[in-house]
Chains A and B, each alone.
Chain A
Amino acid sequence: MTAKASATEFTDGSAQMTAADGAGPAPVRIVVAYGFWIFLLSDIIMFSALFATYAVLSGRTDGGPGPHDLFELRSVAIETLCLLLSSYTCGLGLLAVERHRMQYFYLSFGLTFALGATFLGLELDEFARMVGSGAGPSRSAFLSSFFSLVGLHGVHISVGLIWILFITAQVAVRGPRDFVLRRLRCFSLFWHALDIIWIALLSLVYLAGARV
């Protein structure tokens, strides 16, 4: 409806134009980022199914350990801090490479990688501890849904870490050219989106669960 209204304004030649008004194709930078944004939203929708599963099954412990027996909030707090800081350094790295300050870029993305790897290490440690104490994914419906939800986020983080290595190598070899910058921007959107999913995870799974 708004598109129709602005289209008529455009034929009058009076109103401001956007690409939606038929002003021609948008630049590649915008098309790529928009397509990636749609992908991220569909990824979040996939996560929402697992969130719903967890919310339904979180009380079904089958007499086994529940959320308050398993979660250690201290390591969860460190994990959260790692993710937030890595998002920040990722943003700074993007700013640096756009200004062709390559040392700052390598420093920022090195920090991003280190913080992401710390997060993953803490999470794997937590998983190993839980499985070792007999609270593996096959113990109860609650644990099955917990491991699929948190594990899928962990898989995303692992993919992101591999992506950091590839994109940094690409910057080193090809330099900060347009197509490399587009890929870097896609990566930074991906990394920020993992933060958003972690916030939901932290609140629903860890903070709400540890209190019960």
Chain B
Amino acid sequence: MKEPESNRTPRDRAPGADEEAPSGSIASYTIGLFFALLLTGASFLVSQSHLLWAPGLPVGLAVLAIAQMGVHLVFFFHLSSGPDNTNNVLALAFGVLIVALVVSGSLWIMSNLDHNMMPSSTIMEMHR
């Protein structure tokens, strides 16, 4: 006789977990480490050499960093696009949205203020 539990439907999956092997497998961690080291090495190489056109360097570093975060999420946190992972991915998407708003909003507002601010020497002149 089978337990009713065995007739289970796909449910939510915990972040960092898998149904059969609750915490992934050695292979997935090893692949993750390999890609993480590769991308870190690439970041160091790109920043210390002249492989990239200098003004494009921040963009190159950002791309490598985001790729590496993706590697960590997939191979260490075991996030996937499956239906059992919807809640985890939605929470992540919300977090990414807030982070993007905080960072880009701060940079935007501060550069705008900086731009509209009188040079301090002019302010000194006015108070004289």
Residues of A within 8 A of B (CB): 2, 16-20, 23, 26-27, 29-30, 32-34, 36-38, 41-42, 44-45, 48-49, 51-53, 55-56, 73, 77, 80-81, 84-85, 87-88, 91-92, 94-95, 98, 185, 188-189, 192, 195-196, 199-200, 202-204, 207-208, 210-211
**Which of A2, A16, A51 has a CB less than 8 Å from the CB of B103?**
A51
**Assuming A84-B36, A98-B22, is B91 touching A37 (CB within 8 A)?**
yes
Contacting residue for B12 out of A30, A73, A192, A204, CB 8 A: A30
Interface SS of chain B: helix, strand, loop or mixed?
helix
* Size of the chain B interface, CB-CB below 8 angstroms: 56
User: Are the C-beta atoms of B91 and A18 separated by less than 8 Å?
Assistant: no
Question: Given A16-B83, A84-B40, A207-B44: A195 and B76 within 8 A (CB)?
Answer: yes
- Please report the C-alpha to C-alpha distance between residue A64 and residue B107 in the assembled complex, in whole angstroms: 23
Contact of B26 with A95 in the complex, beta carbons under 8 Å = yes
CB distance from A25 to the nearest CB of B (A): 10
Residue of A nearest to B94 (CB): A41
A66 and B66 alpha carbons, distance in the complex (Å): 26
A30 and B72 contact, CB distance less than 8 A = no
In the complex, what distance in Å separates the CA atom of A32 from the CA atom of B16? 12
**A98 CA to B99 CA in the complex, in Å?**
34
B77 touches A189 (CB 8 A): yes
- The reply to whether B43 and A56 form a contact with Cβ atoms under 8 Å apart is no
In contact, A56 and B12 (Cβ under 8 angstroms): no
Contact of A33 among B14, B29, B61 (CB under 8 A): B14
Known: A33-B14, A91-B76. A199 touches B23 (CB 8 A): no
